[in-house]
């Protein structure tokens, strides 16, 4: 039987290791905040409008993202055949789909699609004020992402969603995010790669996003314009 002194020593070692590990995570996040423009600048951000295109093989779809504190979100996409608007009004997720030549069909979103839209409405993202939001973050190692080393942070959100963030050890920017997306019969691993970082009004944004699954590129998102703190009509975030 181990002695009481050994048990105490082992417990202290575990606690000390956990404390040092948490400190490492917080130091990495501090670097990330600074790389974004600083935590103070991030908190000054009240609204955001991003416009661009998503390229799926031979098809190109225009996309627009509008967000306003605390958790209002509107996402628009349009192709020659169909227009889709998704809105979270702070309480309910809505979707409006309009086929060319027809009127829009508006429905209340449910299931996983609604969950994902509501998660997306977190204005600051999962890494800011993560403890207050009930999330946990663990540093699980360092891996190379496209030739550069990155801290591998496993984030478990309060609702149980698990994502892995890869933060470059030199630039402290998020260069990759991996998520298991629920699908019929199980889950599908989606990896999002972020490139072409540019500063807009003191904040840094990735202007290229590449989604990869099973080694194949699903789509490439290209940002054309970022507007920081634009004046947005609150009605944009109401039921379409």
Among candidate residues 197, 196, 191, the one with its CA nearest the CA of residue 219 = 191
- Residue-number span of the structural domain to which 53 is assigned: 4-237
Each of the 240 residues of the chain gets a pLDDT tens digit; together they read: 455 454 444 444 444 444 434 559 999 999 999 999 999 999 999 999 999 999 988 789 999 999 999 999 999 999 989 999 999 999 999 999 999 888 899 999 999 899 999 999 999 999 999 999 999 999 999 999 999 999 999 999 998 999 999 999 999 999 999 998 777 777 889 999 999 999 999 999 999 999 999 889 999 999 999 999 999 999 999 999
* Domains of the chain: total: 1
Task: Say if residues 153 and 28 touch (Cβ distance below 8 Å).
Answer: yes
Is the alpha carbon torsion for 173, 175, 178, 181 positive or negative?
A: positive
Residue 228: strand pairing partners: 48
Strands 105-108 and 136-145, how do they pair?
unpaired
Which domain CATH number covers 80? 2.50.20.10
Task: Say if residues 93 and 118 touch (Cβ distance below 8 Å).
Answer: yes
C-alpha separations of 21 from 24, 30, 86 in Å? 5, 14, 39
Residue 143: strand pairing partners: 150
Tokens of 98: 């309009």
């Amino acid at each position: 039987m181990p002695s009481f002194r050994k048990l105490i020593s082992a417990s202290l070692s575990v606690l000390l290791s956990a404390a040092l590990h948490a400190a490492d995570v917080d130091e990495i996040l501090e670097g990330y905040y600074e790389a974004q423009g600083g935590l103070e600048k991030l908190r000054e951000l009240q609204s955001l409008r991003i416009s661009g295109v998503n390229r799926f093989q031979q098809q190109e779809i225009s996309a627009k993202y509008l967000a306003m504190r605390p958790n209002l979100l509107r996402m628009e996409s349009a192709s020659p055949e169909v227009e889709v608007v998704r809105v979270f009004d702070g309480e309910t997720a809505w979707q409006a789909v309009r086929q060319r030549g027809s009127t829009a069909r508006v429905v209340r979103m449910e299931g996983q699609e609604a969950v994902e839209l509501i998660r997306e409405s977190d204005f600051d993202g999962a890494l800011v004020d993560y403890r207050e939001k009930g999330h946990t973050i663990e540093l699980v190692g360092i891996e190379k992402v496209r030739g550069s080393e990155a801290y591998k942070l496993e984030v478990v959100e309060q609702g149980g969603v698990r994502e892995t963030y890869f933060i470059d050890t030199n630039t402290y920017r998020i260069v990759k995010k991996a998520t298991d997306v629920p699908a019929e019969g199980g889950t599908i691993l989606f990896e999002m790669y972020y490139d072409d970082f540019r500063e807009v009004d003191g904040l840094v944004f990735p202007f290229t996003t590449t989604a990869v699954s099973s080694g194949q590129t699903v789509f490439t998102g290209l940002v054309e314009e970022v507007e920081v703190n634009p004046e947005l009509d609150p009605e944009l975030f109401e039921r379409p």
